[in-house]
Amino acid sequence: MDSVLTKTAGAISIVRETETIPVGEIVIKTATGKYICTVCGYVYDPAVGDPGRNIPPGAAFEDLPDDWRCPRCKNDKTKFNKA
């Protein structure tokens, strides 16, 4: 990273900017466990759950039953990526 910093003065401010953006927030975002369906773009938000399938708010994606399907396109969990 140091070599990038020394290349141009402009790069320094850009790098510093990304450093100021709390990295912790990104980590927290991942930790909240939103998953996005790669087929239709549906986002599973554990804070919401999936009322249509009796998944209560707070249920992590990992805790969803293996036969859980995307409410929108009916594809299975393997089609989901971490959002």
Contact positions vs Zn ion (CB under 5 A): 37, 39-40, 42, 70, 72-73
- Least separation in angstroms between residue 63's CB and Zn ion is 19
- For residue 81, give the DSSP letter: E
- Least separation in angstroms between residue 32's CB and Zn ion is 19
Which CB, 9 or 72, lies closer to Zn ion? Answer: 72
CA dihedral 56, 59, 62, 68 (to 10 degrees): 10
Terminal Cα-to-Cα distance of the chain (whole angstroms) = 26
- Least separation in angstroms between residue 71's CB and Zn ion is 8
Which CB, 29 or 72, lies closer to Zn ion? Answer: 72
Which CB, 2 or 62, lies closer to Zn ion? Answer: 62
